[in-house]
Amino acid sequence: MSLEQHFNKFRENIVGIDAKFETPYGIKDMIYADWIASGRLYAPIEDLMKNKFGPMVGNTHSEASETGVVMTMLYKQAKNIIKQHVNAGKDDCIITEGSGMTGAVNKFMRILGLSIPDQAEKYIKEDIPKEDVPVVFVTYMEHHSNHTAWLETIADVVVLLPEDDTDLVGELEREIVKYKNRKLKIGSFSGGSNVTGVIPDYHKLAEVMHKNKGFAFVDFAASAPYIEMNMHPENKLQYLDAVFFSPHKMLGGPGSSGVLIFNKKLYKSKRPDHPGGGTVLWTNRWNEYAYLENIEAREDGGTPAFLQTIRVALAIRLKEKMGVKNILDREHELLKIAYAEFDKLPQIHILANDKRDRLGVISFYVENIHHNLVVKLLNDKFGIQVRGGCSCAGTYGHYLLHVSKSDSHRITEMINNGDLTEKPGWVRLSLHPTMTNDELYFVLDAIKQIIENIKEWESDYIFDKSVGEFFHKDVPRKTPELFNDWFDL
């Protein structure tokens, strides 16, 4: 059986695999190629949520009623499944938070005591001795959520940008010695770029952090659906102190929560991040109280995200059923097809084109065609779902597109004034093991047709500089009110 055949049995259960929608040029079959942004619903998981888990829905925090005890046990087992999937250790805690990695990592920053209200920052940060200011090392290819979020903490943030972009480990070794007197040293590294699919050697980066008495965190948001995540590899110095990821990007994952798993030695908080129901051991009428000692319980205030967490576990089980080796091998087959066709088109420039050992994501731009116009034409003319922009990775974008500081300041000034005309970006094509060869060839041919017919086709569109998007001149823009009947019961 070929890998394409292996994944066909999963493909047929994707909700919306046969979807159609109306465009200015008629009804189109939807072809989904935006997997790095979000996964898709999976029918067997939806059936389980409705028919198996649904009838037992009731709040946790109780083991007296049947719904309370069953849902509590299911919630605990879901967290066990997630921890096993990343090879978490006995001292590793799991917290599910928000709707993705962004909520999880920001909660983690608060738990670490690194986030403070901006109204108080000037009073606190100025009084911290330099050696007590934490330092956080990130790579140049981070998503905003693992870069900008750290900039809003009390830490100093160092972006690793080696002259040779294959030498991140060496650059970290050179940089970390400059901060040897800092008491708290953190490395928070990408586990795979959402722009290029390139995966840094995060275990070796972790080893450098540990040799220098630091901690190593990894953001698996883009790569979690495709690779093995291992918090405790054989090399004892390469363990990961914390990981966070966005299960909504997995097949079957939309509607799930973000996941944070970290070693309990990092937890120093006297109070929960969200004090409230479920975090308290006891209270009395004299404002006296005590919190639970168990970290996972005390950081799970209010009604837990039990259904969202169960969905994470089910998406993980689906990933394991598909097989990580199969997933990666199939993506490499698709990448080989895509590269062979792109190499025939000199107008196309692939970002990080020299690094072809990657996840199934290709970001590119076409000479003399705005990236968002390519995205719009792929949608309207062919039904293809891709994404344009900077993929929430502006720092990496500066590097990939060779944007100088002066050009950057000129462009950001335009953006600040409401003009996105020159905001840089690219088209991001996400491949997925459930994509067929024919589907991919259709996508690649569509891109070729856009290049060949751009002069004719672009005349149908108007550019709105305030949002940086193209709109068909004869079709009214969509508004939320147009979708009101979707909510009719």
Arithmetic mean of pLDDT, 267-275: 94
Per-residue confidence (pLDDT) for residue 117, from 0 to 100: 83
Identify any residues that bridge with 188 across adjacent strands, giving them in sequence order: 217
Whether 123 has a pLDDT exceeding 90, the answer reads: no
Q: Where would I find the beta strands (DSSP E) of 85-166?
A: 92-97, 135-139, 156-160
pLDDT for residue 102: 96
Q: Once rounded to an integer, what is the mean pLDDT over residues 131-139?
A: 95
Is residue 476's pLDDT more than 90?
Answer: yes
- Listed in sequence order, the residues at least 6 apart from 300 whose beta carbon sits closer than 8 Å to its beta carbon are 95, 278, 279
- Residue pair 468/421 in contact (Cβ under 8 Å)? The answer is yes
Write down the pLDDT at residue 107: 96
- What is the rounded average pLDDT of the residues 7-19? 98
Q: Which CATH number fits domain 3-42+323-487: 3.90.1150.10, 3.40.50.10490, 1.10.630.10, 3.40.50.720?
A: 3.90.1150.10
User: What confidence score (pLDDT) does residue 384 get?
Assistant: 99
How much of the chain exceeds pLDDT 90, in percent?
A: 91
Q: What dotted CATH number matches 57-320?
A: 3.40.640.10
Q: 3-state class of 26 per DSSP?
A: strand
- CA 173, CA 153: separation in Å to the nearest integer? 23
Q: pLDDT for 402-449, tens place per residue?
A: 899 999 999 999 999 999 999 999 999 999 999 999 999 999 999 999
How many C-beta atoms lie closer than 10 Å to residue 391's C-beta?
Answer: 24
Tell me which H or E stretch contains 374. helix 371-382
Compute the average pLDDT of residues 296-325.
97
Say yes or no to pLDDT of 391 above 90: no
Cα separation, 100 vs 85, in Å, equals 17
pLDDT at 197: 97
The chain-wide mean pLDDT, for the chain, equals 96
Kind of pairing, strands 242-245 and 215-219? parallel
Q: What residue spans define the domains of the chain? A: 3-42+323-487, 57-320
**pTM of this prediction exceeds 0.75:** yes
pLDDT category at 282 given cuts 50, 70, 90 is very high
Asked if residues 280 and 292 have their Cβ atoms less than 8 Å apart, the reply is yes
Q: How deeply is 375 buried, as exposed, middle or buried, from its count of CB atoms within 10 A (0-12, 13-18, 19+)?
A: buried
Q: Dump pLDDT digits (tens) for 31-78.
A: 999 999 999 999 999 999 999 999 999 999 888 899 999 999 999 999
DSSP state at residue 369:
B
Q: Please state, in angstroms and rounded to a whole number, the distance separating the CA atoms of residues 363 and 361.
A: 7
Q: What is the pLDDT of residues 234-257, one digit of tens each?
A: 999 999 999 999 999 999 999 999
Using pLDDT thresholds of 50, 70 and 90, give the confidence band for residue 118: confident
Task: Report pLDDT for 116.
Answer: 85
Q: What pLDDT is stored for residue 216 in this prediction?
A: 99
Question: How does DSSP assign 312-345, residue by residue?
Answer: HHHHHHHHHHH-HHHHHHHHHHHHHHHHHHHTT-
Angle of CA points 455, 457, 462, to nearest 5°: 100
Reported as type and span, the H/E element at residue 23 is: strand 20-23
Cβ distance 220 to 250 under 8 Å? Answer: no
Q: Quick one: pLDDT at residue 467?
A: 96
pLDDT for position 127: 76
d(CA 60, CA 68): 5
Alpha helix positions (H), 238-303:
295-298
3-class SS at 19? Answer: coil
The better pLDDT of the pair 214, 392 is held by 214
Alpha-carbon distance values, 370 to 373, 377, 425, 466 (Å): 5, 11, 8, 15
> What's the pLDDT score for residue 176?
98
* Predicted local confidence at residue 86, as pLDDT: 99
Q: Could you read off the pLDDT of 440-470 as tens digits, one per residue?
A: 999 999 999 999 999 999 999 999 999 999 9
d(CA 316, CA 74): 15
